[in-house]
Every structure is written in structure tokens, then in C-alpha cells.
Homo-oligomer: A and B are copies of this chain.
Amino acid sequence: LVFAVKSGEFEIDKKGLIKEVRHYRQNNERKIINEFIEFLSIPNVSADTKNIRKNALFIKEMMEKRGIEVKILETKGNPVVYGELNVPNATQTLLFYVHYDGQPVEPSKWIDSLPFKPMIRKGKLEAGTTIPKPIQFSAIKGPINEEWRIYARGSSDDRAPIICYMAALDAINKSNIRLKNNLKFIFEGEEEAGSTNLRECLVTNQKLLKSDILFMCDGPGYFSGDPTLFFGVRGIVSLQVTVYGANTNLHSGHYGNWAPNPAMSLAKLLASMKDDRGRVLIDGFYDTVVPLGEGEKKALNNIPDFDDKLKSLYGFLTPEDPQKRLTHAIQQPSLNICGIRSGWVGNEARTIVPSLATASLDIRMVKGNEGSYMAKKVVDFIKKQGYFVTSTEPTLQERLSHAKVAKVALRESGYKAYRTSMDLPISRSVIKALYGYDSKTVMIPTLGGSLPISMFSEVLDIPVIGIPIANYDNNQHQANENIRIGHLWKGIETFATIFMMGKAQK
């Protein structure tokens, strides 16, 4: 293994640390969960500014109890909660990011519980059922099982890491372990509303936030439940392609197989963009990809294979490229059709030749890809297929001068791709800190989804590594959001280990 640990001494320290933290947690499970339930009882929908401030103040109080120096950073929107814990002789500063706000809620879709009345279920709510039944935590006596789950908005996304940080600090403190690193925390209050004011807050507080690394603790961990590190995210750029036929829907009898059918033109255009194994045929689509290093490739191959389970879960037999694992596929840029609209189907179907056909596409980018470059490649490809391409509604003159007319609109600027090398000294330290832990760490070079990580890296000029701790099946952004208690326990141990990580060796 390329990330093999060389120092025997360090190994011993870590094992001891985990033993202490686990011991502390086992003796304080009820206390930890009680504090979490109190926290989760405060509504945290981004738009509910009054309760959002209650969350901020609750977090401030929790942090101050642990000796963290807290500042509420006011923005044009919801407050950012900032905290720091400085240690004498610390040689590194670690910055942790999560958001404390949550997605809007539809209480009627919560089964036998409510978003802000946290309840325990003794297992995962089975799809299409109401069992296991929710129980008030205070009504449960005796030992707590790690398969149980807490159901509440924000239980996973994204209040769980905050509770884990607090418990990890308590454990370190109670065990008289000396903290090695300065810790900083930044908790955003409007991530689910688009992080509109975050960049300005980071810029304004650049000095305050100065650190060696930022840990992004948002989102779910890997399917296997093992501690997960991710070193990058895919960027995204969205396009909308519209192709034109006649300027009005035409009767499919009177004009069918004479009037050009834009639904067919679009089908042919889209079909020409990818081969039968999902490889994008657009010239230059893969040219700017920064290849994975050897270490990253090895890490990738070490990720437990969850594909068969996912295929059963999602009800399909064969992925786009039958020979590529999910984790490997998402290390490449993707071209995805998000939607197609032309004419009508089903009960609304009309026997017409539609006047236009529209496809919504997204391109997920990896390190090296740049949004406007990728969009231009798509436009160039469409032109190469014989289309006159415009970015605005084509004029009659344009329609009458070109056999094939397409409008391509960039739907949004999107997020940039980002990837921290696993070979950076600080990356190696993070990996080392988790190495030898009782479950294998899953190290993902690039997550499939997109997060505004590059914003942190650009404004603060530091590497970013992701440490998500929630269970993958947490119903994020939906009703019945939950966290598996075993994942909370693992989160506490993971963060304690990171808090105590060794100094990056150049």
C-alpha cells in the first residue's frame, strides 16, 4: 500500500486514542443523544430566520461549553457560526465545515413522526411500511443499539457532524489527551438556500479562517458504512439544447414524413453524442482530464464493490458501461441527459409533428475540466453535425437559411471540479491518521456529485478533503431523514482521530 504507515510509535498512539474515545462514548451514549435531540428539536429550515438564529445560539453554547471561542459572523443572510480552539505549540490548524440549516419540510410525508420532533426507530423504516414504529428517546430504557436510527430533519444533513465534533472533544478532554492541532469550525446557516453569502463571508474573514486544511463534512459516507474520505468533487455545467422544425405543431397526417420532425432530429443528435458503452464521442471531451495518480488508482481499487447491491436496489441489470464500476465511472467527466421534452405523450398525446424538441443536459466535470470549455466542445460538436447554432431563439430568416437549427443555452454557471492530490503531505497525514482504524477507510479521489469546494480552496488557498459521516440511506432532502446511531459513534471516533492527526511531513 502506497500510504503504508512508517512510524510504529504513531500506530500505538492512535489505537490508544480510539480505545479512550470509544470508552468515553460507551459511557455517555444517552447524554450524547440527549444533547443531539435537543439540537434537532430546533427547526432549521433555511428560510425560518428566527429558528435559524436559535440554532446558531444553541451551537454557540455547545461550543463554548467545550472551551471553543465562538464568533457569530453576520452575513446578508443567515449567521455563520465560527469557533476556534487553540492549543499551545500546535503546528497545524484544521478547519471544519458543515451547515446547520436544513431543507424545507413537508410534515405530512413524515410517517408517524414530525421533522422537528426527533424520534428513535429500532431499525430503518422499511419502504412502503410504517415500521419499526417511532419511539420517544426518553421512553427507551437500557442499552442503545447501533442499528437504531434518529429520525429528524438535519439528523444527517448536516447537524450530525456538529454533535460528533462536540462528543469527540469531550472524549479527548475527559481522557486527558493533549490536543495536537488548532481546531477551527465554520458552520453555515443557508447552504440549503444556495450559500448566497458564503463567499463574501469567507473573503471578509480570510485571516480569521487561516488554516492548513479544510474538512468538508457534508453528505453521506460510502455505502459500505466504512469511514470515508473524499479528495474531490465533480463540477457541473448545465446546457439546454433545442432543435427546431416548423414554427408551429403540424398535423401528423397532413405533414408527417414531409415536415422535419425535431424530436427525431434531437434523438439523432443525442444518440450521436455517446457510443453504446457510454463513452462521449464529442471531440475533446476527455482531453483536459487530469489523470489520477498511481496512489489514487490504488485507493479506487480498494473501495469495496457495492455495485451489485445498488443494481438490485435500483432495479436494473447493466450499467451504462457494463465493465465499469460506479466508483471508477465517476472519476471521468459525464454527459447526462436530465430531460427531454417534445410534443406530448400519454393521455395528452396529440397526433402532431412537434415544432421543437428540447433536451436538458448536464456535464459533470473532473479536475482539469472547465465549464465554458466543455460547453464549447458540445456546441462545436453540434455544429459539426450540420447545425446552425444560436444562443437565442432563432429568427425566421435563420430558420429559412439552415436545414438544421439548434439553440444552445448555458443554464447555470455551476460548480467547478476540484481534487486534492492524495500525495500532498497533508493528505498523507489525514490518510495516515485513519489508517489502522478497525474498519478500512474508503478513499474516493472524486465524488460523483458537485459541492462548492473550490470556493473554499480558492478563497482560503488551502486543500480541502471531505469526511462525510452519515449513512448513505439517510433520506437526505426528503421526508423521514435519519441517522443511524452506529454512524454517529463512528463519526465521533473519526473526528477524534482527525483532531489528533500528525503533522504533515514534507
Contact = CB atoms under 8 A, between A and B. Distances in A.
A349 B339 contact: yes
B252 A326 contact: no
Interface string A248-283: 101111111111110110111011101010100000
B257 A268 contact: no
Contacts of A278: 257
Contacts of A447: 253-254
Interface in A330-367: 330, 332, 334-346, 348-354, 357-360, 362, 364
A245 interface: yes
Query: Of A246, A270, A340, which is in contact with the most chain B CB atoms at under 10 Å from its CB?
Result: A340
Contact of A364 (B252, B267, B276, B362): B252
B316 A246 contact: yes
A456 B453 CA distance: 71
A364 B257 contact: yes
Given A251-B449, A353-B336, A258 B330 contact: yes
Interface residues of A, number: 87
A223 B317 CA distance: 53
A312 interface: yes
Contact of A244 (B316, B320, B322, B360): B316
Given A254-B448, A260-B318, A334-B256, A343 B352 contact: no
Query: How many monomers of this chain does the complex have?
Result: 2
Contacts of A342: 337, 339-340
A358 B341 contact: no
A246 B315 contact: yes
A353 B329 CA distance: 14
A176 interface: no
A498 B47 CA distance: 76
A21 B345 CA distance: 50
A324 interface: yes
A396 interface: yes
A340 B263 contact: yes
B360 A314 contact: no
B336 A261 contact: yes
A91 to B, nearest CB: 36
A23 interface: no
A236 interface: yes
Contacts of A349: 238, 240, 338-339, 360, 411
A263 B241 CA distance: 14
Interface in A400-426: 400-403, 411
A316 B399 contact: yes
A412 to B, nearest CB: 9
Contacts of A329: 257-258
What 10 A-B pairs are tightest by C-beta distance, nearest first?
A: A339-B343, A253-B449, A257-B334, A247-B315, A246-B314, A263-B337, A271-B271, A318-B403, A267-B270, A258-B329
Interface of A: 233-234, 236, 238, 240, 244-248, 250-261, 263-264, 266-268, 270-272, 274, 276, 278, 311-312, 314-322, 324-326, 329-330, 332, 334-346, 348-354, 357-360, 362, 364, 396, 399-403, 411, 447-450
Given A254-B447, A260-B319, A264-B274, 11 more contacts: A247-B316, A256-B334, A258-B319, A258-B324, A258-B329, A258-B448, A261-B320, A317-B401, A338-B354, A339-B349, A339-B350
